[in-house]
Chains A and B, each alone.
Chain A
Amino acid sequence: MRILKKEAKRITVLTANGTELVCKPVRKLPVRDLLFKLGLSAETMQSTTEQGISDAMEQFSAAQQIKTTKASIALFNYCMAYGVENNPPEEAVEELNALGLAPGTPTALRATWLNYMVLEDAEEAGLLAAVIMALTFRGDGTELEVPGIEPATE
């Protein structure tokens, strides 16, 4: 993923498959709540910091694993649905429909399109969510740096 353009409230990125996406901030409060649900507790947050989330999740109870997974999916979907301006092209919607994957609302459709047809892997998905969250919480996109993403070349 590469950053193409940085503005105060918008960042344009180019994904690995060549799709240009315009990112914008989302509402802070739902994101904060989902982050909290993702953290579950001080203990789990601490262990995820020290060991990495995959290792830490292996030690969770089944109930905790389900909660964490649900929260991470919801967080990703929320960021994609409200933090990306682009809508899926018609042919992508047709394809998703044919696969039985097109959800009923435009916001969920955008998240599904990005998840299944645009983003290459979990790492790229994480980076895009990180750009949106950084825009949301830091405010000024012109000064934004996200580790793992090539900066704008202009």
Chain B
Amino acid sequence: MTIYKSSAGVTLEILRVPRSLIDAYARDNPTPEPPTIEVQVFGGVKEKMDDFKDPGYLAELTIYHLRMARLMFDLIVQAVNIVNPDWRADSRIADMAGLGIPIDSTHDYLRYIALAEQSDLTYVMEEALYLSTVTDRGIQEARQAFNIEWQGIPIDRQRNPPGKLSASSVYQSRVAASSLGYIWEQFCELSGPDQSAIVAQYQCALKIEYLASEERRT
């Protein structure tokens, strides 16, 4: 749990969001695809290309980004409790009501008052994600704590194996979890830093294996 005071002077408690919700957010909301158009290339040959300038697609993309930002907010506020002040007694609610923006719930209060600054929302989002799932920050912290060296040099500074495989971070988390004996549901119940530490441990183990195999080869 993290305590944070936003620039609006509201003290918040940031907790975890169930990882399954975070994964569903990314999985259930694919980015809109642009339409394709036929264009003539060399020799009069026609080729299909994505039309990124299509007005319908651009409108759809704008709505998509607005909707995603809204969904992300809905997701993150589930992990936020208002500690201080009593939001119902905040005089800024009357200001908003006077403008035709009724603040009837903690959700509205967070959106329009407590977390209305982008920097506050960004901090709360990053913190909630850090506490809930695998993050770069969590992996970095774990790797630093492991403090692994190979021939006197930190393994982060050793070269990586040539990468040909590309996969989502969920795939990496699943492989790391299963290779270290966790079933996926167990893994998801762990705190974000613990999940990150498992992924970091898996990454480090692979790197050590690679460095050892390189040494054997030479």
Interface residues of A (CB under 8 A from B): 27-30, 32-36, 39, 41-42, 45-46, 49, 70, 73-74, 77-78, 81, 103-105, 107-108, 111
Nearest first, the 5 closest Cβ-Cβ pairs linking A and B are A108-B98, A77-B99, A27-B116, A74-B100, A105-B98
Measured CB to CB, the closest approach of chain A to B34, in angstroms, equals: 15
Q: A42-B60, A107-B99, A108-B98 are in contact. Are A28 and B118 (CB under 8 A)?
A: yes
Interface residue total, chain B, C-beta cutoff 8 A: 25
Choose, from B62-70, B79-87, B143-151, B180-188, the stretch at the interface.
B62-70
Between A and B, 24 residue pairs with Cβ closer than 8 Å are A27-B118, A28-B118, A32-B66, A32-B69, A33-B111, A34-B101, A35-B66, A36-B66, A36-B67, A41-B63, A42-B60, A42-B64, A46-B56, A46-B59, A49-B55, A49-B59, A74-B99, A78-B101, A81-B95, A104-B94, A105-B98, A107-B95, A107-B99, A108-B98
A103 CA to B62 CA in the complex, in Å? Answer: 35
A107 CA to B92 CA in the complex, in Å? Answer: 10
The tally of CB-CB contacts under 8 A between chains A and B is: 67
Taking CB atoms, residues of chain B closer than 8 Å to A81 are: 95, 99
Interface residues of B (CB under 8 A from A): 55-56, 59-60, 62-64, 66-67, 69-70, 73, 94-95, 98-101, 111-112, 115-118, 121
A33 CA to B64 CA in the complex, in Å? Answer: 13
Chain B residue nearest to A78 (CB atoms) is B99
Q: A46-B60, A73-B100 are in contact. Are A29 and B95 (CB under 8 A)?
A: no
Residues B121 and A29 in contact, CB atoms below 8 Å apart: yes
Residues A30 and B112 in contact, CB atoms below 8 Å apart: yes
Tell me the dominant secondary structure on chain A's binding face.
Answer: helix
Taking CB atoms, residues of chain A closer than 8 Å to B63 are: 39, 41-42, 45
Residues A33 and B95 in contact, CB atoms below 8 Å apart: no
Residues B101 and A74 in contact, CB atoms below 8 Å apart: yes
